[in-house]
Amino acid sequence: MADRLVCRDCHRVQSAEIESQCEACGGTALTEDWAGYVVIAHPERSDIAEEMEVTEPGKYALKVR
C-alpha cells in the first residue's frame, strides 16, 4: 500500500494525498514505513482497540517504523 501514509503518533492509516498532517490526531510525523493493519469499527467493544488505545473507528497500522 504505497499510496498510504501512517501517523507515527496514533497509527492511523490515511491517503498519501494528505501529506502534511494526520487527519485524526493532527500529528505531523507521517511515514510510508509500516506493516499490517486492522480495521476497527466499534472501538468501545474491541479488545484490540483497547490494547492499541484506539478510541475512534478507522484503519490502523499494526507496526510503524
Mean pLDDT in consecutive groups of 10 residues from the start of the chain, 65 residues? 85 85 92 95 96 95 95
**Binding residue per annotation — 22?**
yes
H/E stretch holding 49 reads helix 47-52
Q: Report the predicted TM-score, pTM, of the whole model to 2 decimal places.
A: 0.87
**Binding residue per annotation — 11?**
no
**Binding residue per annotation — 25?**
yes
**Binding residue per annotation — 42?**
no
Q: How many CB atoms lie under 10 A from the CB of residue 9?
A: 15
CATH architecture of 4-64: Single Sheet (2.20)
pLDDT value, residue 8? 96
Provide Rg for the chain, Cα atoms. 11
pLDDT value, residue 6? 95
Query: Residue holding cell 494528505?
Result: 18
